[in-house]
Structure 1
Amino acid sequence: MFQIKELLLTGQLMPGEQLSLRSTAEALGVSMMPVREAVYQLVADQALEVAPNRSVRVPLMTAAQLKEITDIRLQIEGYAVEQAAQHATPALIDTLSSLNAQLAREMDAPGSDKSAVVLINKELHFSVYEAARMPLLVKIIESLWLRIGPVLNYDLRAGSERTKNKIAVGHHEKMIASLEQRNGQRAKKALHADIESAFKHILSKQFS
């Protein structure tokens, strides 16, 4: 199930995209049985859904669902960042700074495929959340990202104005600087600005 979860978490699947169990099994180099079990566990978790024709697909998201998930993320991920600030080490700051620099370079890279941007953004965020040293909290955040990961394509992968202007990079810089100072409140404020600006952009572009 890990590989399919990663496809969702890192935005490699789009809302509404159908999954062929056979093609997925072939791509992962495994038999149909574990893929089928993984997919139906993700259906139970509402990260995937069974369409009327019995195909499996990534759920579409309504504006109301996007707002609800965003409100929950602000609370839970904000708390994780506050906790991470208490444990921020020079090694963590170096890792986050390196990932943010990679993110900026990928945003500048030519071409319309920005899949690496979504991947690096997820790695940066979860590096912070894991620094909170609260594994159960990270699992809760992961469950939210299983739903929000595909939607982040609308913000990052599509080469939006936010990507061109590196808005997320700027918010990350403020968060990293605050973590380095072990200032949890300011780090949370920077994270909130990042999440809220992405929410507003997606809402205006996909649900207007």
Structure 2
Amino acid sequence: MSSLLSPAPRRETLGANVLFQIKELLLTGQLLPGEQLSLRSTAEALGVSVMPVREAVYQLVADQALEVAPNRSVRVPLMSAGQFQEITQIRLQIEGYAVEQAAQHSPPELIAALRRLNDQLSLAMEAAGENKAAVVLLNKELHFLVYAAAGMPMLVKMIESLWLKIGPVLNYDLRAGSERTRKKIAVEHHARMIAALERGDARLAREALHSDIESAFKHILAKQFSS
């Protein structure tokens, strides 16, 4: 995990940067369910003392994005199929609302930026090798660029909170290079959503987002939670 972190730039407060980097690992599924987070190793990777790492980690514990195990180690929580389904249902409502609002605030430069990201996502899905970290990062960047366009910062924070909880399983198919990735299913849904945003069609934009979320949900439920 420490190889995914980079030293904190001094122009930012250490605490804010440490929190940001650990959040990114969770949001993009680079930390797996049940994986332990070493405070000392994380501090060394970031080039900071253990104190700001401890503060960031325990803030995430309070947000239920991380948990303290019985042996006092800090780890990514495991998620049941029921919890995954519940969070997905909440995401459909909240993220769907954000997309509807974004449809009213989608200038040409936003549409162009979204199309660039989706094109980059498509190319990343074609890249050789099993490491699909770029796919996961681009997918997250595209989604949150849309949500930010809603112009509702508190709504974006709510969405981030959901992604922090679900991130370790949310990107299962993207990270693993599944059939959905090879067929670029997410790229197709994104293209439909972007086209609807360009036309200011809130209903179709929401439907495209729902298709994206639901197709990933069904795939992950079958692959990760089937017994």
Deviations 1:161-199 (A, max 9, x none): 101110000000000000000000000000000000000
SS in 1 for 2:51: helix
**Structure 1 residue aligned with 2:148:** 130
**Structure 1 residue aligned with 2:3:** none
Output the TM-score relative to the length of structure 1: 0.98
Matched, 1:9 2:27: yes
| One-letter identity of the residue aligned with 1:120 | L
| One-letter identity of the residue aligned with 1:87 | H
Gaps of 5+ in 2: 1-18
**Structure 2 residue aligned with 1:167:** 185
Quick one: percent identity of the two aligned structures?
77
What is the rounded CA distance, in whole Å, between the counterparts of 1:172 and 1:55 in structure 2?
39
Moved over 4 A (4+): none
What is the rounded CA distance, in whole Å, between the counterparts of 2:136 and 2:34 in structure 1?
18
What is the rounded CA distance, in whole Å, between the counterparts of 2:188 and 2:34 in structure 1?
31
Match of 1:146 among 164, 173, 185: 164
Match of 1:80 among 86, 98, 106: 98
Match of 1:44 among 42, 62, 83: 62
SS in 2 for 1:157: helix
Residues 27-106 of structure 1: pairs in structure 2 closer than 5 A: 27-106=45-124
Deviations 1:76-130 (A, max 9, x none): 0000000000000100001100000111111100000111111110000000000
Pairwise CA distance, 1:153: 3.1
Gaps of 5+ in 1: none
What is the rounded CA distance, in whole Å, between the counterparts of 1:113 and 1:150 in structure 2?
15
Matched pairs, number: 208
Residues 176-195 of structure 1: pairs in structure 2 closer than 5 A: 176-195=194-213
Matched, 1:158 2:182: no
Greater relative CO (CA pairs within 8 A, separation 6+):
1
| One-letter identity of the residue aligned with 2:131 | D
Give the root-mean-square deviation of aligned CA atoms.
Answer: 0.7
Question: Are the aligned partners of 1:118 and 1:152 in contact in 2 as well (CA < 8 Å)?
Answer: no
Deviations 1:1-36 (A, max 9, x none): 111111111221111111110111111121100000
Deviations 1:42-80 (A, max 9, x none): 011100011121111111110000000000000000000
Question: Are the aligned partners of 2:121 and 2:187 in contact in 1 as well (CA < 8 Å)?
Answer: yes
SS in 2 for 1:61: coil
What is the rounded CA distance, in whole Å, between the counterparts of 2:38 and 2:223 in structure 1?
29
State which drifts further: 43-52 or 148-157: 148-157
Output the TM-score relative to the length of structure 2: 0.90
| One-letter identity of the residue aligned with 2:120 | Q
Question: Are the aligned partners of 2:26 and 2:168 in contact in 1 as well (CA < 8 Å)?
Answer: yes
| One-letter identity of the residue aligned with 2:33 | P
Pairwise CA distance, 1:152: 2.2
| One-letter identity of the residue aligned with 1:143 | S
SS in 2 for 1:113: coil
